[in-house]
Structure 1
Amino acid sequence: MRRVVVDTDTGIDDAHTLLYLAGRPDAEIVAITSVYGNCSEEDATRNIGYVNGLLGLDVPVARGAAEPLRGPAHIAGYVHGKDGLGDLGRDRPLPRVSAESGPELLVRLADEQPGELDLLALGPLTNLALALRIDPELFTKYRSVVLMGGSGPYAPPGTLLMIDANVNNDPEAARAVFAAPRRELVMVGVNVTAGTILDEHDIAALRATRTPVARFAVEILDAYLDFYQNEWGRRIIPLHDPLAAGVLLDRTFATAWTDGPVNVRGDGFLWRARLMRTHDGLPPAFAYDPAPPTRVITAVDARRFVTDFVAVLTR
């Protein structure tokens, strides 16, 4: 059993992740913290409340960062809809929230239950960086910290990667996270999530299931499909955040990984978190900052995970 604290910028695939975690018999959602990213922090909190209501889930919810450590927030409304759930006009009142901030809740739970909880970060890493300012040893108190973000090792020449949005939204926070001491830090990056595809057959299976969970999962998909059809010419989506949850719960979904230092580096346009290795395992051709080892997932059994994801949401 994994007892999971979820930090989320609750957009469409984040909502799918909460549905997946709630449907897995080996997972318990212990608490949820909100952060900006896919939508505003307030909308992320409203969406947490909506999904929790759908699931009948009563866990602590704490509001987190509304902007990065430095600079304005970048909100991905063009991907997830302005409200984060596809702009379907749902009534999403603010849920009851903790008097603690998101970072404060992350610290307190780790202090109260050291080694018992897993932290799953699905959005920009601002809350985690703020929590590390309170307790620099925070990650040593979680059983594991699993991040949806990063870009893996350097890709083979000529290969383009999807944007590393969660790192790009707050590179300063990401830098603090990858430099922090930890028990286990796992990076599930766009190098593996972009190829983990919910295709037309899988979406049809969700659509044919008339449970409230499956119906909601399909209804919020349209905005996401509208965006990703411009990538592939098909109405299909990558399961970015759900895959990170899957790897947290079942490490056999990951078929290859490398442990090593991760640095956050920019190219003048975008920021990425990268394992300081080339695709063939060599160090990069420049000096880089030392960092404690992060477990960087480099390959996954995408089809087996997608099959499990659909099975959980259609039970």
Structure 2
Amino acid sequence: MTQPLVFDVDTGIDDSLALLYLLASPEAEILGITCTSGNVPARQVAINNLAWLELCGAPDIEVALGSEVPILAPLMTTEETHGLQGIGHAVLDAPARNISERHATQVWIENARARPGEVIGLVTGPLTNLALALRIEPELPRLLKRIVIMGGAFNHAGNTLPTTEWNIAVDPESAKIVFDAFSGLPSDRRPIVCALDVTEFIEMKPHHIERLAKESLSSPAEIIAEDDLYGTRSQASNPLIRHLSDAVRFYMEFHKAHDQGFLAHMHDPFAAAIALHPELGQSRPATVDVELAGTLTRGQTVADWRGMWGREPNADVVVSTDPEAFFDHLIERVSSLARTLTR
């Protein structure tokens, strides 16, 4: 049975792998890809999504432009993390496909209305588009089957400010709108939140790329070495492996430069996997709110685990997973997609 979903992204290196994972998953029916500014500006996000779809020979999936700025905050992007175009060292062909004429909010609302109780929402970037859609259609939390959000940090340090995760930091007002909108709903409609508490342990290392290339039947062996010259380009025969390796190498180089090891945190592919297979993580209900006024803590996600606010839980926060089981699943899926490409 296929699972229809709307994928909202700010593509992004790890968003790119999340998209490849969804394209490789036979149970995923991608109804639309909605683009927001975050890792890079929204129009570049749209181009990246179209280019990946074209590279993979994917069906004609709608790619819609959403908000190009946060609701209130000035726009932040992070090309130093993801590269000038958001895909690291990879250089994808300019896509021939076009951006949809519909706005991202229309994609969210019209798909949810057309298939009430069926559509999964997956957000791996700032929550701007979903917040705007909620303003137009407040019934979205009841129309959607479930929402999966990559964002936040609870019992973990932030990656943007000491207590703040990037996707929330870009647009804290939108994050608060979303969490508030899901308050008071039945437990099966609560958002599933994949925060840094778990995603920082989803560490892709060179041996994962080597194994992915091997299972994709790509040659020669795909070795990303820590002592390679900066920006060394892949020579892989398989185009998906070649471009993905170039993107991930940049991410590994970034993490190494910031004393986090020669690795890449794959936040967004994990959230994509949870969207299709919630059983891959163990979650805990909490009441989640977002700090908007703190001088030092603006954008912090705060979880009330014990009901101290006297408010019902409005989120299920993923608190644990088996990272290697996840990578087994990811590699199996993406290598199956890579094997279909011959050029």
Q: Same fold (TM over 0.5)?
A: yes
User: Match of 1:246?
Assistant: 273
Contact 2:213–2:335 (CA under 8 A) maintained in structure 1: no
> Against the structure 1 CA distance between its residues 251 and 73, is the aligned structure 2 distance closer, same or farther, given a 3 Å change threshold?
same
Question: Residue type of the partner of 2:304?
Answer: M
Q: Distance in 2 between matches of 1:176 and 1:187?
A: 15
Calculate percent identity across the aligned residue pairs.
30
Superposed displacement of residue 233, structure 1: 5.3
Provide structure 2 residue ranges, at least 5 long, that are not aligned to the other structure: 219-237, 337-343
| Equivalent of 2:109 in 107, 116, 123 | 107
Q: Distance in 2 between matches of 1:200 and 1:87?
A: 16
Q: Between 78-87 and 206-215, report the one with greater CA deviation.
A: 206-215
Q: Distance in 1 between matches of 2:29 and 2:240?
A: 17
User: Match of 1:219?
Assistant: 246
| Equivalent of 1:307 in 328, 331, 335 | 328
User: Match of 1:121?
Assistant: 123
Contact 1:104–1:131 (CA under 8 A) maintained in structure 2: yes
User: Match of 2:88?
Assistant: 86
Contact 2:14–2:269 (CA under 8 A) maintained in structure 1: yes
> Against the structure 1 CA distance between its residues 168 and 94, is the aligned structure 2 distance closer, same or farther, given a 3 Å change threshold?
farther
Q: Distance in 1 between matches of 2:137 and 2:278?
A: 28
State the SS of the aligned residue for 1:204. helix
User: Match of 1:193?
Assistant: 199
Contact 1:199–1:235 (CA under 8 A) maintained in structure 2: yes
Q: Distance in 2 between matches of 1:42 and 1:87?
A: 19
> Against the structure 1 CA distance between its residues 60 and 233, is the aligned structure 2 distance closer, same or farther, given a 3 Å change threshold?
closer
Provide structure 1 residue ranges, at least 5 long, that are not aligned to the other structure: none
Q: For residues 264-293 of structure 1, what are the alpha-carbon distances to aligned partners after superposition, in whole Å with 9 as ceiling and x for unaligned? A: 12653452223213xxxx456xxx594652
Contact 1:179–1:292 (CA under 8 A) maintained in structure 2: no
State the SS of the aligned residue for 1:261. strand
The 5-angstrom pairing of residues 40-51 of structure 1 reads: 40-51=41-52
The 5-angstrom pairing of residues 149-188 of structure 1 reads: 149-152=151-154, 155=155, 160-163=157-160, 164-181=165-182, 183-188=189-194
Contact 1:143–1:184 (CA under 8 A) maintained in structure 2: no
Q: Does 1:260 align with 2:281?
A: no
Q: For residues 73-104 of structure 1, what are the alpha-carbon distances to aligned partners after superposition, in whole Å with 9 as ceiling and x for unaligned? A: 10010100011111544333473222221012
Question: Residue type of the partner of 1:197?
Answer: E
Q: Distance in 2 between matches of 1:233 and 1:262?
A: 28
| Equivalent of 2:208 in 202, 212, 220 | 202
Question: Residue type of the partner of 2:94?
Answer: R
- For normalisation by structure 1, the TM-score amounts to 0.89
- For normalisation by structure 2, the TM-score amounts to 0.82
User: Match of 2:133?
Assistant: 131
